[in-house]
Structure 1
Amino acid sequence: MQFDSYNIEGFYDEYFIAPGQPRIEVAAVVDYLQQLPQGSLSETNTAVEKVLAELGATFTWHGETRVLPFDLIPRVISASEWSQLSAGLKQRVAALNLFCADIYGEQHILRDGKIPREIVESAARFMPESMGMKPPAGIWCHVSGIDLIRNEAGVWYVLEDNLRVPSGIAYVMKNRQAMERVLPDLLAKFAIEPLEGYSQQLHSTLLKLSTGNKGASTIGSDSPVAIAVLTPGPVESAYFEHAFLAEQMGVALVQPEDLVIEQGYLHRRTPEGLVKIDILYRRYDAQLLHPLKLGNGYSSGLSAIIDLCQQGRLALANTIGTGVADDKVVYTYVPEMIRYYLNEDPKLPNVPSYLCWNDQDRAYVLDHLDELVVKSASEEGGRGMLIGPHASPEERASFAEKIRAQPREYMAQPTIALSRIPTVVGSEVEGRHVDLRPYVLHRGDDIYVHPGGLTRVALKKGSLVVNSTQGGGSKDTWILSDR
């Protein structure tokens, strides 16, 4: 039997309350897997990964194309729990959007002293060039990925915000397709919220940007609104996702060298000639736009793109400047943003944090490095991070010097024992730590949370790092329907 020797080891396990006692929402999954021949899970997992390879669900790492490692035992979230999470995600993204509009506008939250001005203006991705920007409908963060975790008591927390170019949604959809091919009988036992509608929802979100874009074709006119997805190209680790979304939406996929400004508007080069772009969905860090050569009169490609947006001649998703909210020090102020802009208490809590620019917090962090997780404010993908309990004395000493040299650049959090889900390891099933990245689309008149999200799993025993570039994998995420 697959779970006879399964040990929850004192962690919050999303499948078992106690050994041999599954939670009610996953009981049918456990029963199904228990009926499979001993040792067959590894073969089934290999079959799913083979399908993912056929579907092209890959990422690029150091020039090598790989299939994102996958585990077939799904994460299952009840309809009632998902309803609560969705409400918290909508609230958070609404506040973050108002924050971006404010700090690049009147800066009320800074003037009122709710967030220190120097914290915002020293953020690596704060873009002074975007001051005064007024994107269509006042929406800055059209697409957000909010990283969630559960602690040892099963309580959900927000771990990070991703408002620049959040990735991973294509893997969510491909994971489901692979599961439907290999384990259709298992999925048939549940009423699961479908995933197929994301591309249509994204396309609808982007079309909203045509409002207020001077010269943009209007919906229903002879010249439809022209949308393009901007990608760095195959060298980018998530290029598969860029191409997939462009294909699903039926829009152009463009690389920087395809772009040119002609007659005051952005165009893409095609064999048939230039084609105007009304809306650009960038899967590209704003800083990487600098080298673009878009014509005379601009100091950089970034200044050219910003100028077109300022004039209302181009709409951009996400708006340049949203990366300030990805800063892990700015993250600690999101609960205050929610209270300030929405006059509400946060529905999803932050992980308690220590800010190293604060003398008292810094002293505590330096004295407790062996207990804490320390993060660089501007790094991503698991880089620039120290997991104190797993680090050597030499690594902790080196990080202490970094903190003393650049206190603004670092923050720390307690080491949280992330929740675990059973995972296929060879011929056995063992618990592995997970997080969850739901995807949120802001359209102005409503905020849409796509069902589920990307469950990332730390495949190495005991590891808390779930990033694919650090040896992590993914699972299918099921939101049970209450309909």
Structure 2
Amino acid sequence: MKKNNKFPIFSSYELDSRFYDELFDANQEVREIYKTLYKLFGEYSIDEFDRLNNQAKDSFFNLGITFQVYGEDKVQEKIFPFDLFPRIISHKEWDIIEKGVLQRSKALNIFLWDVYHDQKIIKDGIVPLDLISSSVNFLQEMVNLDPPESIYNHISGTDLIKHKDGNYYVLEDNIRCPSGVSYVMGNRTAVKHALYGVFNKYKAHTVVDYGANLLDIMESVKPKGVDSPVCVIITPGVYNSAYYEHSFLAKQMGVELVEGRDLFVEKDFVYKRTIYGPERVDVIYRRVDDLFIDPLVFKSDSLLGVPGLFSVYKKGNVCLVNAPGTGVADDKAVYTYMPDIIKYYLGEAPILSNVHTYHCSRKKELDYVLQNVDKLVIKPVDESGGYGISIGNKLSKEEIEKVKQVVKENPRKYIAQPIMSLSTHPTYIEENESFDARHVDLRTFTLLGKDKDYVLKGGLSRVALKKGNLVVNSSQGGGSKDTWVLKK
């Protein structure tokens, strides 16, 4: 249903009663929190807004805010798509979100300790043994290894959606190398440059303190006996899809960005090469996957890691952020047990609900999934970036049969969820020269350190730029928005 708007720039805006629209309520009235913003945007002419939109894109280009998409034939570097209409979250809503994602991160950290030590949660029958032993991300090398300060997931990215009932639900947990925080800060910079007068009408929390808080967290987990730790970020290199973020965060924290070849191990310590000679490294924020960090222990042909690094880690002479082996906890099959995990370790009810999820390794759930593929989203448990997802109502009969066959061949690898009603948000569509409703989600960022935790008050609102598309990942053509969390 097209919404009758008095402003030309919203003339094409269409409401769909199946989804929660964050701008308009059920009575087609602008929600209170957006009234000032709606009026300010509505006063722009099409030409004026086009100019501002192009200015924002130029800002991203000049800042080098890009990502790489890997296709079958070539790798493309693209400017991260950005929409100027910000998402607003009230302090009351955010209070629930912040408490909920922090609760999950703490529970997952205890879960990881338990899984790699006593496995009480398995012995007590809460989580099945084969779920852990069959996970491709479970590292046998981490068994009985004590990470500094007992922290595994120093950095967590929790993906949320707002359902048509107006509540937030957790779509998945990401605790290997959650990415996207650099775009949060890039979005804020672009909005403040293009819409400074608009931004000042609201009192939003800052997002530029993330780098300082991340550095504090890293320094808090320094090896024993170290007073002033040297921290670095290790990157696979310039051809990695998130290289912009690696370099951005290094600048934000004032630490060195290194590759594996810049580090070496000697006498049970890690050093970096400098023009003044070797310098000991104490904490490494790694953006290199587990199996590539040390060719002496994992993939012997890896050129990305540091020979001997894992041995130094085992001796407690360097801290790796996040710890190796954390991927066993962001396995989407483990996600199905999160309510039980929270209750088991914290003695609390989950603050944020999971999306109802079917794990195909369970016979009854597999049977249901195979009979209802057209009503479900099928996801591989160990992929990210929107890859491998099948949305049932978008598939042909032939494609549905192929999905069934793939799932039956390896049920452990797949989960299924109902096709959720992701909320919609005003997004500028250049070809229409107007705003229209597009689906959005939210990635939050949580940090855990010694006696300290932190949740970034903003997060990354990702938007599907194609009408009706429910996959918001940048690798699948999605963009992002600035997210304003309002102060009290």
Superposition TM-score, scaled by structure 2 size: 0.93
Q: Which residue of 1 aligns with 2:274?
A: 270
Counterpart of 1:9 in structure 2: which amino acid? D
Larger deviation, residues 31-40 vs 359-368: 31-40
Alignment size in residue pairs: 471
2:199 aligned with 1:187: yes
Change (3 A) 1:309 1:291: closer
3-state SS in 1 of match to 2:257? strand
Q: Which residue of 2 aligns with 1:342?
A: 346
Task: Give the Cα separation in 1 of the matches to 2:425 and 2:27.
Answer: 13
Q: Please list the CA deviations of residues 193-229 of structure 1 after superposition, one character each: whole Å capped at 9, or x if unmatched.
A: 011111100000000011xx145x313xxxxx11110
3-state SS in 1 of match to 2:421? coil
2:18 aligned with 1:3: no
Task: Give the Cα separation in 1 of the matches to 2:404 and 2:446.
Answer: 36
Task: Give the Cα separation in 2 of the matches to 1:292 and 1:459.
Answer: 44
3-state SS in 1 of match to 2:179? coil
3-state SS in 2 of match to 1:33? helix
Q: Which residue of 1 aligns with 2:411?
A: 407
2:173 aligned with 1:161: yes
Counterpart of 2:111 in structure 1: which amino acid? F
Q: Please list the CA deviations of residues 125-177 of structure 1 after superposition, one character each: whole Å capped at 9, or x if unmatched.
A: 11111011211221110011100011122221000111011101011001101
2:479 to 470, 473, 478: 473
Q: Please list the CA deviations of residues 11-62 of structure 1 after superposition, one character each: whole Å capped at 9, or x if unmatched.
A: 2101110475111111111010111114543332221111111112111224
Is contact 2:385–2:475 with CA below 8 Å preserved after alignment? yes
Question: Cα distance, 1:462 vs. partner?
Answer: 0.6
1:47-446 mapped onto 2 (5 Å cutoff)? 47-62=55-70, 63-210=75-222, 213-214=223-224, 217-219=226-228, 225-291=229-295, 304-426=308-430, 427-446=433-452
Change (3 A) 1:303 1:275: closer
3-state SS in 2 of match to 1:16? coil
Change (3 A) 1:105 1:184: same
Counterpart of 1:317 in structure 2: which amino acid? V
Is contact 2:357–2:415 with CA below 8 Å preserved after alignment? yes
Counterpart of 2:193 in structure 1: which amino acid? R
Is contact 1:144–1:163 with CA below 8 Å preserved after alignment? yes
Is contact 2:88–2:485 with CA below 8 Å preserved after alignment? yes
Task: Give the Cα separation in 1 of the matches to 2:50 and 2:265.
Answer: 53
Q: Which residue of 1 aligns with 2:465?
A: 459
Task: Give the Cα separation in 2 of the matches to 1:451 and 1:434.
Answer: 17
3-state SS in 1 of match to 2:373? coil
Task: Give the Cα separation in 2 of the matches to 1:38 and 1:279.
Answer: 50
3-state SS in 2 of match to 1:75? strand
Task: Give the Cα separation in 2 of the matches to 1:40 and 1:26.
Answer: 21
Superposition TM-score, scaled by structure 1 size: 0.94
Q: Which residue of 1 aligns with 2:4?
A: none
Counterpart of 1:58 in structure 2: which amino acid? T
Task: Give the Cα separation in 2 of the matches to 1:255 and 1:370.
Answer: 45
Is contact 2:21–2:424 with CA below 8 Å preserved after alignment? yes
Task: Give the Cα separation in 2 of the matches to 1:127 and 1:46.
Answer: 47
Task: Give the Cα separation in 1 of the matches to 2:135 and 2:306.
Answer: 18
Is contact 1:440–1:447 with CA below 8 Å preserved after alignment? yes
Larger deviation, residues 103-112 vs 390-399: 390-399
Counterpart of 1:185 in structure 2: which amino acid? G
3-state SS in 2 of match to 1:384? coil
Counterpart of 2:459 in structure 1: which amino acid? G
Q: Please list the CA deviations of residues 375-396 of structure 1 after superposition, one character each: whole Å capped at 9, or x if unmatched.
A: 1011111111110001122221
Question: Cα distance, 1:303 vs. partner?
Answer: 8.2
Task: Give the Cα separation in 2 of the matches to 1:412 and 1:340.
Answer: 24
3-state SS in 1 of match to 2:329? helix
Task: Give the Cα separation in 1 of the matches to 2:95 and 2:47.
Answer: 36
Question: Cα distance, 1:335 vs. partner?
Answer: 0.9
Moved beyond 4 Å, runs of 4+: 300-303
Task: Give the Cα separation in 1 of the matches to 2:438 and 2:283.
Answer: 41
Is contact 2:235–2:287 with CA below 8 Å preserved after alignment? yes
Counterpart of 2:227 in structure 1: which amino acid? T
Larger deviation, residues 463-472 vs 270-279: 270-279
3-state SS in 2 of match to 1:319? coil
Q: Which residue of 2 aligns with 1:222?
A: none
Question: Cα distance, 1:267 vs. partner?
Answer: 1.2
Task: Give the Cα separation in 1 of the matches to 2:330 and 2:213.
Answer: 23
Task: Give the Cα separation in 1 of the matches to 2:130 and 2:297.
Answer: 33
Task: Give the Cα separation in 2 of the matches to 1:289 and 1:311.
Answer: 16
Counterpart of 1:206 in structure 2: which amino acid? M
Unaligned 5+ runs, structure 2: 1-6
3-state SS in 1 of match to 2:185? helix
3-state SS in 1 of match to 2:361? coil
Q: Please list the CA deviations of residues 387-420 of structure 1 after superposition, one character each: whole Å capped at 9, or x if unmatched.
A: 0001122221111111111011111000012000
Task: Give the Cα separation in 1 of the matches to 2:44 and 2:391.
Answer: 38
Task: Give the Cα separation in 2 of the matches to 1:248 and 1:429.
Answer: 33
Task: Give the Cα separation in 2 of the matches to 1:449 and 1:34.
Answer: 33
Task: Give the Cα separation in 1 of the matches to 2:334 and 2:51.
Answer: 45
3-state SS in 2 of match to 1:157? strand
Q: Please list the CA deviations of residues 72-98 of structure 1 after superposition, one character each: whole Å capped at 9, or x if unmatched.
A: 011100011101110111111110000
